[in-house]
Each structure stands twice: as structure tokens, then as C-alpha cells.
Amino acid sequence: MFLDLARIERIAEMPHLMGLLASRVGHFLNVEELARTTRLNSMTLHRYMTLLEALFMIYLLPAWHSHLGKRLVKSPKLYLNDTALQLFNLHVDTEKLLADPYLMENVMENFVVMELLKQCTWSGQNIRMYHYRDYRQSEVDIILEGPNGKLVAIEFKSSETISAQDFKSLRLFLEENELNAFQGILLYAGSQTLAFGDKLTAVPLSALWEGF
């Protein structure tokens, strides 16, 4: 691994790249755009990204598609394995985080994705994790797929209050995949577990560490 580090050109650019990656958490990975922004050639940047992934500093969340062959051609979403690393590279302290709702939502997204990834790893049930976006641009933050093909769709909101409208993407996904979709869950900053119709449930974020 240290030999791989030594072979990478312009290693001094790494802090700049990490800042850019932290600012793009939850976005589709676009290596060509990153190469233009950092003025690194694409080959060098690809080596950077491969190394960062191998060092468990970044995580690329693959796309889900009902056709297995199409999953590989869709763009993954980018996350940092440590949310504290995201905040460090964004130069964000608690005061700034609390004052910026968009930033709070973005940081929460990274935290939730990484917490779910940990739980999938610990479960021992070979649960795979994806993101979802269809031709109508309807998105679901997380799709969990079990070994039996059953699907759990998960969205998250940083607000303490929610409405039926917040379940729109989850509802569409469940309708389009009714044979395999088991449950739609909306994680939110409130304190109560609430039912919003068949297979749709709002669950407090605290369930991630306290248990569902």
C-alpha cells in the first residue's frame, strides 16, 4: 500500500481533492469533472480514487436496477467513510453546521449511509446496499436488498416533522416493485414511530443506534 502511495503523482494535491470530495457527498461520481476541477489527468485521478477507496476513506454507493446487468453502468454516489472527516475537510464546526440546514441535511445523509453500511456488514445476512434513481428522476436514498431479493427502501429527512408528501418517492418505488418491495422507511429527526399507510413507516433516526 505504501508503494502505491509513492507511485501516485502530485500527492500534495490530496488535501485539495479531499475537500472537493467532501463537498460532493451524496452526488453522483463524475471523475472527468473532478479531473477538470483539480487539473489532474484522468489516469492520476483514477489512481487517487482507487487508493482512497482501498484505504476506506471514501465509499461509492452503487445504483440499484431491477435488471442486474444495468446496475454496473449506472453512476455510483460518493460518500466519505467517516462523517467527522467530511466535516474536517469542509472546515465546518458545530455552530456553522447548526446554522446551515442544507449542510446539516448533507452531513446527516453521509452519517446515515455509513451507519446503515456498518449494520449491513454486521448482520451476516449478505444484505447489499444501493441508491435508486428512475427515468423520471425520482430518487430513493437507500435500497437494501436481501439474499432473497426482498427490498427495503429508505429515505431520510433532517426535520422533526414530516407529512405524507415526504413519502412520495418511497411510495412510487414500492408500487413499481410491489413483488419484491417489503417496506418503505423514512428516517427523520423526530421521536415517534408513525405509520403512513401500507408498508410505509416513519422511524426516528435514533433507531440506527437504539434498534428498530
Cell numbers at 70, concatenated? 444495468
pLDDT at 26: 94
Q: CA torsion angle for 10, 22, 91, 209 (degrees, to 10)?
A: -140
pLDDT at 11: 67
Cell numbers at 145, concatenated? 436488498
Please report which confidence band the pLDDT of residue 187 belongs to, taking 50, 70 and 90 as the band edges.
very high
Q: What is the mean pLDDT of residues 99-125?
A: 90
Q: What is the mean pLDDT of residues 48-74?
A: 82
Higher-confidence residue of 144 and 42: namely: 144
* pTM: predicted TM-score of the whole model, two decimal places: 0.86
| Distance in angstroms (rounded) separating the CA atoms of residues 155 and 140 | 6
Cβ neighbourhood burial of 196 (10 Å; 0-12, 13-18, 19+):
middle
* pLDDT single digits (tens) 144-174: 999 888 999 999 998 899 999 999 999 999 9
Number of Cβ atoms within 10 Å of the Cβ of 88:
14
State whether CATH 3.20.20.140 applies to domain 1-91. no
Q: Which position has the grid cell 449506472?
A: 74
CATH of 126-212, one of 3.30.110, 1.20.120, 3.30.70, 3.40.1350: 3.40.1350
Where do you find CATH 3.40.1350 in the chain? 126-212
DSSP-assigned letters across all residues of 102-118: HHHHHHHHHHHHHHHHH
Where do you find CATH 1.10.10.10 in the chain? 1-91
